[in-house]
Amino acid sequence: MGPSVRGCDDADTAPDVGAGHPAAVVLMPWSVLIAVVGAFTLALGSALQERDAVRAPGEKVAKAGFLLHLLRQPRWLIGSGAAVLGASLHLVALSGAPLTLIQPIGVTGLLFAIVLSALFNHQRVSAWQIIAGMAVMVGLVGLLWVFPHGAETPVMRTGTALALAGATLGLGLAVYLTAHWTPSGARALLLALAGGAAMGTTSGLARVIAANAVDDWTNLFGWLTPLAALTAVFGALLMQNAYRTGHFAAAYATLLITDPVVGVGIGALLLGEGVPETTVAQAGAAAFAALAIAGTIALARTRHRNPEAREAGERCGAPTRTR
């Protein structure tokens, strides 16, 4: 077994920040607020990125050079800046609260994306979309209530981190190499699943980095940081390819489900953040999770699609002209 990863501090000597620690009590409400703001900003960035991802030239599943083309598009750059800001706020939130609390909040980004897309495309948000959005919110509140909210500084062993990142990258690469032969709808879901898994893994690694940086800022420069950056960049490549299929709503909804599920799973199984222990709590968590997922799927299905994205989707991702 490899050594535990806790920045430059030894696992036995690092200060313990438990759920009852005064600093944890103060930080947690702020972390929740920051996570909500981050979810909105990330949704804004993704909505801005969508059109350029759809219109970019290239094959149905574009290579890494596809990102270089997008880097020359002003709107995509603004969207990327917003997405980076949202992700940064997410990391700040993770430094003060556990994955099981912060990750589900990111699902609210779909509701933000629905509203923003309606504004951008001069469309109205339907009553059914509002109902579905409320279902997501109720499901999230329920999850936040039944999951334990310990805030101890997390530990991840070297071997565990490498295995986690390797499995995520391997799965994503398999999806990326085979996605050419799948229909556009299925391709969007598969790429978003792999991209969401990569983002969730990034969140798990970032939770370790950010929480330990509170104790010692030099932990930001540990070897976990480039590993998290690698999974994040690969996840971004997968997600931009998912957007270019023309099925933005389905892709974004899948991302927002997969990312928190993977992140919460890492927190519960690898970082010791815990799961509901009683049968009643477990049943409640399952019911609330199902409600949140059902609401997210309903939002994705009822969202108005961008006409330009629909046209690109019908051409199965054929190259489009940029204007």
Residue 1 belongs to a domain? no
Residue 6 belongs to a domain? no
**Residues comprising the chain, all counted:** 323
Q: Which residue reads 């949704």 in tokens?
A: 43
Residue 8 belongs to a domain? no
pLDDT in tens, 165-196: 999 999 999 999 998 888 877 888 899 999 99
Residue 4 belongs to a domain? no
Quote the Cα angle for 212-215-218, to 5°. Answer: 75
Residue 241 belongs to a domain? yes
Helices (H), 56-126: 65-70, 74-94, 99-102, 108-120
Q: How many domains does the chain have?
A: 1
- pLDDT beyond 50 at 1: no
Q: Which of 15-29, 82-96, 105-119, 190-204 has the highest mean pLDDT?
A: 190-204
Residue 45 belongs to a domain? yes
Among residues 177, 169, 163, the alpha carbon closest in space to that of 231 is found at: 169
pLDDT in tens, 133-165: 788 878 877 776 776 655 567 778 888 889 999
Range of the domain at 206: 18-314
pLDDT bracket for residue 313 (50, 70, 90): very low
Residue 28 belongs to a domain? yes
pLDDT in tens, 251-306: 887 887 788 778 878 887 787 776 777 888 888 888 988 888 888 777 766 555 55
Residue 320 belongs to a domain? no
- What pLDDT, on a 0 to 100 scale, did the predictor assign at position 194? 95
Quote the Cα angle for 162-64-250, to 5°. Answer: 85
Single-letter amino acid, residue 20 = G
pTM score of the predicted model: 0.70
